[in-house]
A and B are shown apart, each in its own frame.
Chain A
Amino acid sequence: MDTPNTEIDALVRREYQHGFVTDLESDTVPPGLDEDVVRLISRKKQEPAFLTEWRLRAYRHWLTMSEPRWANLHHPPIDYDEISYYSAPKSKDDGPKSLDEVDPKLLETYEKLGIPLHERAALAGVAVDAVFDSVSVATTFKDKLAEQGIVFCSFSEAVREHPALVEAYLGTVVPYTDNFFATLNSAVFSDGSFCYVPKGLRCPMELSTYFRINAAKTGQFERTLVVADEGSYVSYLEGCTAPARDENQLHAAVVELVALEGAEIKYSTVQNWYPGDEHGTGGIYNFVTKRGDCRGNGSKISWTQVETGSAITWKYPSCILRGDDSVGAFYSVALSNLRQQADTGTKMIHLGRNTRSTVVSKGISAGRGQNSYRGLVQIGKGAENARNYTQCDSLLMGDRCGAHTFPYMEVKNPSAKVEHEATTSKISDDQLFYCRQRGIGEEDAVSMIVNGFCKEVFRELPMEFAVEAQKLLEVSLEGAVG
């Protein structure tokens, strides 16, 4: 298709809408990392001794590790001494109890981002634990949830209020020795969210956190821990946008999910961090470790993600299917445009009997984007009648992008059934012609086809996220068709 389309060009070149910096006084630790910084972070957060020790063990272990190089990613070396490992908005000392007490400038930032915090809270009944840089500043609906015994708060608060719960579950899914970035996170994690749903309870609302990266030269080290006790259900949403910045920013988060017997956790992510410009300058390095443990029989964990942002995405939300009859699922749409690189996928580790997993991955590459699916399906010796179905499709838009698939299948049980299918294609001229012939503009036609391509994943998203995700994809892809 050679249709000249200046409108499309304009859209492609449009600057990142969410790129601005809010001038807030930050309580920032000087760049660099040593044991003192780790102790300082721990002290600032008034953490109990067990946590300080845990952080230090992680830090010492981190010193013995080297950055992984196996991913299909290219970036200049990261200088870990250039990063400031702690940053908190000044107003934190006052400890805002409600939205009124939150720094108005901060609220303004959310307004600009289009996150109507109170509106959303009131209208949609969603409890929002907003993370601005490294410390949670506002938590809504907490009391309402607390009435039912659900703990949903910032990680630091959980450490203070529910140390026993934190100690019992922290690092049991992603141990501090897990990998380079998870270990770094374990040493220096600043804040994040904690959620505990008690036995037999169905969490009455979708829980969501907005992640936001702001202060310059501050790596974000979020830590999220969700525990669903026996027979409970929780749906957790996570979404993010970030301001434009020239220097690459490191983000190394850890998410741990624990589902006990009969529990179900649904974890959804929309990630739209600054991807860098068309020359590959700037953008977030998103090195995330996400793992769920289906610890109890009949438990279920599903990951749904829409990844459109970040210069580099390195994440493999995984499920350890330990309990018998447990179920794991992974639904992903990953888009790389401009010079974005994504190396993402999942691991399904089948250990229990009759465990099932489904993987649906949709990769879209445009511009000079590089998209890799890397997945592991492992069936252990004792995993009788385990079943996996994996489908990963790639859509290529333009001749300078790339789509790659690296599925690993390791099967040690003769009763297992594992299937993997992958296709790679472009939007066909036939499909476009069909739409255009019916009076649909090229732009709309592409958007329609891409939405159809991603439908199986969008269907898994909670309602409000599905709408947002579709819009996000449209904006990120406009004009990308060649």
Chain B
Amino acid sequence: MGAGGGGRGMNGAAASAARYAEAFARREPALPGHDLAWLRDVRRAAADAFSRSGFPTPRNEHWKYTNVAPIEKRAFDLDGAGAAPRAAPGNGASGTLPGGNGTSGAFLDGGGAPRLVIVDGRLDPGLSNLEALPPGVTVEDFPRALERDAAFFESLLARIVRPEKTAFAALNTAFMDTGAVVRAAPGAVADAPVHLVFVSGAEGRERAYSPRIVIAAGAGARIAVVEHFLGLDGAVYLDNVVTEIDVAEDAAVEHYKVQQAGAAAYHVAALEARLARGASFHSWAVSLGGRLSRHDIDVTLDHEHARCSLDGLYMANGRQHTDFHTNVEHVAPHCASHEYYKGIAGGRGRGVFNGRVHVHPHAQKTEAHQTNRNLLLSRNAEIDTKPQLEIHADDVKCSHGATIGQLDEQMLFYLRARGIAESAARGMLTYGFARDVVERIARPGLRGPIGAAVLGHLPGGGDLREILQ
């Protein structure tokens, strides 16, 4: 809703809405799948939904703690990647990223894993490695997948993440022109995780990117996908990501999200998973980069014996603002959800967590547990958390717990008494706090590189790396 934003700021909002509408009209004829009538309808409906809603304001309960006015005010370049393929990169040889040291992170795979790399909204074949895919698994960039098999998308695209869900999902749906599609045939089992790497901000234009990611696992399939966002540290840009995940009967999907956007970037992402009977979904997410980031993670359990676990870690330092909104809809009986999120805020950072669990009538025998722990490290940092339970069935076991606190003085003393400098001791304890979320990564091969990325974002993490290794 969010109506009644009258008066103040209205002109700015109207101007920004007009800019997006104008850009959509201009780009529509050339967007991927523009010759598909159903997709045209989906895009137009989404553009209309955005025109009606505009960007959310803090008066909207879902955006109470996250003000997106800075995104609204920026006149992001909406023109997309353009036609020319990216110049064959001299810096693209064997796994180096564009921008070199200016990039906010490095690849998380050792180089051998299946990898799709998209730089500034365009597939980079030189950096990608799609040869080692297991049988039954396909990985393509979004425009190509749409071209090759449009029928696959018709029953799926914008059906899991509804464009009207948030203004950002609507914008993504209207403009989606890049992204990745991972499909696993029934029974396919992928041992190595598939890495989807997005590098933004290399071009220097202040762009808004609209990548769409679709992951579909056929009955009994088992796959793991890593969504990794990187960017150039100096660049101002907006990643507006939508991920739709379809998990068929008895299939299992693991999804890892590593958000390492550039320091000046805005990162907004909506993910939703739809689970069939007996399916399982594990989401693991870490938010490290970006000036302002927001993640919406939704899971609907509308078939019996489906289960999901949502784990995550968010870190806000400097002037970072990071926000996780998770929502689990227990519609069918005999489903289970487990959630474990931790947050660290230092400097002038602000961490926001909102975890909603909604148990519908008739969803008996539901088990839903949620934990949220936060560490507040500095005087000017802030944590806002809201674990939320809405329960309409009686034969359920539901719980949530949330804490906000600081490092244990006794533990600090213990370390200092052993001759460890205070800053290092604090760093170790902070890393220890974060580490148990890292331990929940089911693939041992990912723990090392993701753990290193987490360490890299800790204050004084560099020194710590030496001590710990």
**Could you say which residues of chain A place their CB within 8 Å of the CB of B394?**
396-399, 401, 426, 482
Q: Assuming the A-B contacts A381-B379, A399-B393, A404-B390, are A424 and B404 also in contact, with contact meaning beta carbons closer than 8 angstroms in the complex? A: no
Beyond A417-B405, A423-B398, A425-B397, whether A404 also contacts B387 by CB under 8 A is: no
CB contact between A417 and one of B379, B396, B404 (< 8 Å): that residue: B404
Is there an interface contact between A418 and B361, defined as CB atoms closer than 8 Å? Answer: no
What chain A residues lie within 8 Å of B384 (beta carbons)? 408-411
Is residue A400 within 8 Å, beta carbon to beta carbon, of the partner chain?
yes
Instruction: Kindly report which residue of chain A lies nearest to residue B394, judged by CB atoms.
Output: A396
A425 to nearest B CB, angstroms? Answer: 6
A419 to B383, CA, bound (A): 13
Interface string of A405-425 (1 = CB under 8 A from B): 111111111111111111111
Q: Which single member of B61, B378, B399 contacts A424 (CB below 8 Å)?
A: B399
Residues of A within 8 A of B404 (CB): 379, 409, 411, 416-418
Q: What 1/0 flags go to B365-385 for Cβ under 8 Å of A?
A: 000000000101111011111
Which residues of B from 70 to 115 have beta carbons under 8 Å from A? none
- Provide the residues of chain B in CB contact with A409, threshold 8 Å: 383-386, 402, 404
* Max chain A C-beta neighbours (<10 A), residue from B362, B391, B394, B399: B394
A396-B394, A404-B389, A405-B389 known; A413 vs B403 contact (CB < 8 Å):
no
Q: How far is the CA of A82 from the CA of B379 in the complex (A)?
A: 52
Q: Which of chain B's residues 388-429 have a Cβ closer than 8 Å to chain A?
A: 388-406
Chain A contacts of B382 at CB under 8 A? 410-412
Q: Is the CB of A414 within 8 A of B386?
A: no
Is A126 positioned at the interface, with any CB of B under 8 Å from its CB?
Answer: no
Contact with A along B19-43 (1 / 0, CB 8 A): 0000000000000000000000000
Task: Judge if A292 is at the interface, Cβ distance under 8 Å.
Answer: no
What are 25 contact pairs spanning A and B, CB under 8 A? A394-B389, A399-B395, A401-B394, A402-B390, A404-B388, A405-B387, A405-B389, A405-B390, A405-B400, A407-B388, A408-B384, A409-B383, A409-B385, A414-B379, A415-B406, A416-B406, A417-B404, A418-B404, A420-B402, A421-B401, A422-B389, A422-B400, A422-B401, A423-B399, A424-B389
Task: Determine if A70 is an interface residue (Cβ-Cβ < 8 Å).
Answer: yes
Knowing A406-B388, A410-B382, A414-B376 are in contact, say whether A422-B361 is a contact too (CB < 8 A). Answer: no
With both chains docked as a complex, state the minimum distance between the C-beta of B379 and any C-beta of chain A, in angstroms.
Answer: 6
Find out whether the CB atom of A399 lies under 8 angstroms from the CB atom of B362. yes
In the complex the two chains form, is A399's CB within 8 Å of B364's CB?
yes
Number of B interface residues at 8 Å Cβ cutoff, please give it: 35
Chain A residues with Cβ below 8 Å from B383 are: 409-411
B403 close to A418 (CB less than 8 A): yes
B335 → chain A closest CB, angstroms: 15
Interfacial chain B residues near A416, Cβ < 8 Å: 376, 404-406
User: Looking across the interface, which residue of chain A has its beta carbon closest to that of B387?
Assistant: A407
> A-contacting residues of B (Cβ < 8 Å)?
61, 361-362, 364, 374, 376-379, 381-406
Q: Could you say which residues of chain A place their CB within 8 Å of the CB of B405? A: 416-419
| Contact call B361/A400, Cβ cutoff below 8 A | yes
Contact B388 A396 (CB under 8 A): no
In Å, the complex CA distance between A76 and B265 comes to 46
CB distance from A316 to the nearest CB of B (A): 15
Given pairs A409-B385, A422-B401, 12 additional interface contacts (CB within 8 A): A72-B390, A397-B394, A398-B394, A402-B390, A403-B389, A410-B384, A411-B382, A412-B382, A414-B379, A417-B406, A419-B405, A424-B389
In the complex formed, the residue of B with least CB distance to A415 is: B406
Q: A70 CA to B61 CA in the complex, in Å?
A: 8
- Chain A residues whose CB sits within 8 angstroms of the CB of B398 once the complex forms: 423-425
- Select one of A401, A413, A422 contacting B387, CB under 8 A: A422
Q: Which 5 residue pairs are nearest across A and B when measured between Cβ atoms?
A: A396-B394, A424-B398, A418-B404, A405-B389, A420-B402
Q: Which of B361, B388, B389, B406 contacts A399 (CB 8 A)?
A: B361
Q: Which residue of A lies closest to B389 (CB)?
A: A405
**What is the minimal beta-carbon distance from A253 to any residue of chain B, in angstroms?**
26
For A72, what are the chain B residues with a Cβ–Cβ distance below 8 Å? 390
Interface 1/0s, chain A 369-406, versus B by CB < 8 A?
A: 00000000001010000000000001011111111111
Chain B residues with Cβ below 8 Å from A411 are 374, 376, 382-384, 404
| CB-defined contacts of B377 to chain A, threshold 8 Å | 414
Residues A420 and B403 in contact in the complex (CB < 8 Å), given A402-B390, A408-B386? yes
Partner of B403, one of A400, A419, A425: A419
* Minimum Cβ distance to chain A for residue B390 (Å): 4
User: Which residues of chain B have C-beta atoms less than 8 A from A410's C-beta?
Assistant: 382-384
CA distance A407 to B364 in the complex (A): 24
Nearest A residue to B378 via CB reads: A414
Please report which residues of chain A, range 108-147, place their CB below 8 angstroms from some CB of chain B when the two chains form the complex: none
Which residues of chain A have C-beta atoms less than 8 A from B378's C-beta? 414
CB-CB under 8 A for A422 and B399, given A404-B390, A414-B376: yes
Please, how many angstroms separate the alpha-carbon atoms of A95 and B61 in the complex?
50
Return the chain B residue nearest A424 by Cβ.
B398
The smallest beta-carbon distance between A348 and chain B, in angstroms, is 13
CB distance from B319 to the nearest CB of A (A): 15
Instruction: Collect the chain A residues with CB atoms within 8 Å of residue B374's CB.
Output: 411
**Bound Cα distance from A10 to B395, whole angstroms:** 25
Docked-complex contact A394 and B391, CB < 8 angstroms: yes
Residue interface bits A58-85, CB-to-B below 8 A is 1, else 0: 0000000000001010000000000000
Return B62 CB to nearest CB of chain A, in Å: 12
CA–CA, A361 and B299, complex, Å? 29
Question: A400 contacts which chain B residues (CB < 8 A)?
Answer: 361
Give the shortest distance, in Å, between A479 (CB) and chain B (any CB): 15
> How many Å lie between the Cα of A404 and that of B392 in the bound state?
8
Docked CA distance A70–B391 (Å): 18
> In whole angstroms, what is the CA distance A93 to B362 when docked?
58
Question: Distance in Å from the Cβ of A478 to the closest Cβ of chain B?
Answer: 18
B360 nearest CB across to chain A (Å): 10
A410-B352 Cα distance, complex, nearest whole Å: 9
Q: Which of A406, A417, A424 has the most CB of B within 10 A?
A: A424
How far apart sit A399 and B389, CA to CA, in the bound complex (Å)? 16
B-side contacts of A417, CB under 8 Å = 403-406
Residue in A396, A397, A413 whose CB lies within 8 Å of B379? A413
How close is A343's CB to chain B, nearest CB, in angstroms?
Answer: 12
Closest chain-B Cβ to A423's Cβ sits at a distance in Å of 4
Distance of A188 Cα from B394 Cα, bound (Å): 42
A420 touches B401 (CB 8 A): yes
